[in-house]
Structure 1
Amino acid sequence: MEFRHLGNSGLKVSEIAYGNWLTHGSQIEAEQATACVHAALDAGITTFDTADVYANTVAEEVLGQALAGQRRESLEIFTKVYFPTGPKGPNDTGLSRKHIMESIHGSLRRLGTDYVDLYQAHRFDHATPLEETMSAFADIVHQGKAHYIGVSEWTVEQIRRAHGLARELHIPLVSNQPQYNMLWRIIEDEVMPACADLGMGQVVFSPIAQGVLTGKYLPGQAPPQGSRATSEGGSQFIENLLTDDLLTRVQRLAPLAEEHGLTLAQFALAWVLSHEQVSCAITGASRPEQVHGNAEAAGHRLEADVMAQVDEILGDHVTRDPSIVGNASPQERLT
């Protein structure tokens, strides 16, 4: 495993992080989830990402149980706050001081730890003054309940405002967690350069596009049984990518991957990690062998000519419009 600094901070994270969105507490049983977490540890992965909303808090519980007994100082545990949890009452969502302070206590209890290494605002809250949100995060950091603060899917303007407040409050806002892969590049034109200026790293999710970039979905054929495309909770995220033309183009990436001794999934991860501003790539898994396969992508870098070939093969299937970033955060709170 290779390690990188999280932005310009002193914290190092494993290039491949293990995340449990759509898996723990929903798609796979706790025993299998624990096996995947232990496989991650065996592969040298030290960075684990979750959120209170995943499986309505159950994912945090499963991860905490799976990591029980490990040396806490050797792990980097990330979680998030924003989306509705619990009975989803009027204050069970958003980035108000009330919800943030109550959420961190719940997350720490479920994860079985006294602190998280990174506490992230899962989306921007248009209904709460940003000053209130950042003040609550500052209290959490100063109380030792989180070492660093991050955001997820925020616009460049929101990130710059938050970073200015963070400096005034003397807390380290060090990362952004966006969706990023060969097909989805909406952060490249604005968010990435701004974060580079501010010393913030990218903790990217969906680096293999929910499995589309693994090559397991074939043009003209039904999705494999048991895959995300056939699951009740995951199919909605990739159904628009399962076109014959795109799947054919993904298959055309296979020779490039083979030239580098990589599977298509590893090649997709190597593509993400070839961007120096990416601190780590979050991968999920439903089987331990998937974890080990993903971990083998660490340390691989693709040259500029290979990156250009990827662009040529994927063509207009690449989404780059930076205005889409703002669509991720609901304009009104979800209940």
Structure 2
Amino acid sequence: MEHRHLGSSGLKISEIAYGNWLTHGSQLENEAATACVHAALDAGITTFDTADVYANTAAETVLGEALRGQRRESLEIFTKVYWPTGPGGPNDVGLSRKHIMESVHASLRRLGTEYVDLYQAHRFDTETPLEETIQAFADVVRQGKALYIGVSEWTADQIRAGQALARPLGIPLVSNQPQYSMLWRVIEGEVVPTSRELGLSQIVWSPVAQGVLTGKYLPGQAAPAGSRATDDKGGARMIGRWMRDDVLAAVQGLVPIAAELDLTMAQLAVAWVLQNDNVAAAIIGASRPEQVAENVAAAGVSIPAELMTRIDSVLGQVAETDPARTAQDAPARRPA
């Protein structure tokens, strides 16, 4: 496992991070989830990402229990705040001072730790003054409850505005957590250049495009039984945008490229996002320990420039590159 600096900070994180969105507390039994976390530790992963909203707080509890007994200083534990939690009251959502302060306390309790290494704004809150949000995050850091602050799925303009407020308070934003894969490249045009300029790294989620880039979904054929595309707990909804025959056919064009590199399709997908020098880590999930071992093999892989060009050619007609999609997909108001 290799490690990379997170933004312009001194913190290093494993370039493969383990995340438990859509798995812990929902799709997996706790015993299986713990086995996957331990497989991640065995593979050299030190960075673990979760959020209070995952399985309505249950994912944080499962991760905390799975990491119990590990040397805390050897881990980087990340969580997030914004989406509704609890019973869904008017202040159980967003980035108000009230919700941030109450949420960080609850997250620490569930995770069984005195601090998180990175606390992230899970989306931009259009209903809270940005000054209030950044000041609350600064207080969280000063109180020792988080060491660094990041954001998730913010636009380039939002990142710039947030950093302008955060730097004078001594808590510069160090990261953004966007979706990024060979099929979803919307951060490349604006978010990545802005982040490079301002000292943020990307911690990317869904590098395998919800499993589509594994190549197991074939055009004109039903999704395999037990796959994410058949999951009625949220997986099928998330993967739906990719379940088109033109996308699935294009993905099959990657098979010979993966074979040329002696990689599985999943390894190729994870290795591809790590070729971007603004990416500090790719978040992987798993429902079985062996999936962790497979994905970790992408660490340290270098894809030759000519093969990167071939990948662009294969996926050129189906890859989404419009920078506006970040703003278009963001909530205009806090969800109820």
Per-residue Cα deviation, 1:72-121 (whole angstroms, up to 9, x for no partner): 00000000000000000000000000000000000000000000000000
Unpaired segments ≥5 residues, structure 1? none
**One-letter identity of the residue aligned with 1:299:** G
TM-score by length of 2: 0.99
Map of 1:265 onto structure 2: 266
Shift of 1:221: 1.5
Paired with 1:72 and 1:293, the residues of 2 have a C-alpha distance of 26
Partner of 1:229: 229
Name the CA distance, whole Å, in 1 between partners of 2:176 and 2:256.
32
Q: Cα offset for 1:245?
A: 2.3
Structure 2 partner of 1:248: 249
Residues 1:135 and 2:135 are matched in the alignment: yes
**2: CA distance, partners of 1:303 / 1:108:** 42
Map residues 19-34 of structure 1 onto 2, 5 A cutoff. Answer: 19-34=19-34
Amino acid at match of 2:183: L
What is the deviation of 1:334? 0.9
Could you tell me how far apart the structure 2 residues matched to 1:323 and 1:215 are? Answer: 28
Task: Indicate the residue corresponding to 1:117 in structure 2.
Answer: 117
Paired residues of 2:250 and 2:318 also in contact (CA < 8 A): no
* 2:52 corresponds to: 52
Q: Distance in 1 between matches of 2:43 and 2:317?
A: 36
Superposed CA deviations along residues 117-151 of structure 1, whole A, max 9, x for unmatched, are 00000000000000000000000001111000000
Corresponding residue number in structure 1 for 2:205: 205
Does 1:9 pair with 2:9? Answer: yes
Partner of 2:302: 301
The separation in 1 between residues aligned to 2:44 and 2:329, in whole angstroms, is 32
Counterpart amino acid of residue 13 in structure 1: I
Question: Secondary structure at the residue paired with 2:174?
Answer: strand
Which runs of structure 1 show a deviation greater than 2 angstroms over 4 or more consecutive aligned residues? none
For 2:37, give the aligned amino acid: V
Identity in percent: 68
Cα offset for 1:218? 1.4
State the alpha-carbon separation in 2 of the partners of residues 239 and 101 from structure 1: 35
- Following superposition, the deviation at residue 328 of structure 1 comes to 3.2
Cα displacement string for residues 148-180 of structure 1 (whole angstroms, at most 9, x for unaligned residues): 000000111110010011111111310000000
Aligned partner of 2:332 in structure 1 is: 331
Counterparts of residues 149-228 of structure 1 (less than 5 Å): 149-228=149-228
In structure 1, the partner of 2:292 is: 291
Partner of 2:322: 321
Whether the 8 Å contact between 1:123 and 1:328 is mirrored in structure 2 is no
Q: Deviations over 1:230-266 (max 9, x none)?
A: 0011101112311222212211111111111100000
Structure 1: distance between partners of 2:91 and 2:305: 48
RMSD over aligned CA atoms reads 0.8
Mapped partners of 2:252, 2:137: distance in 1: 45
Query: Counterparts of 1:244 and 1:95 in 2: how far apart (Å)?
Result: 39
Letter in 2 for 1:241: W
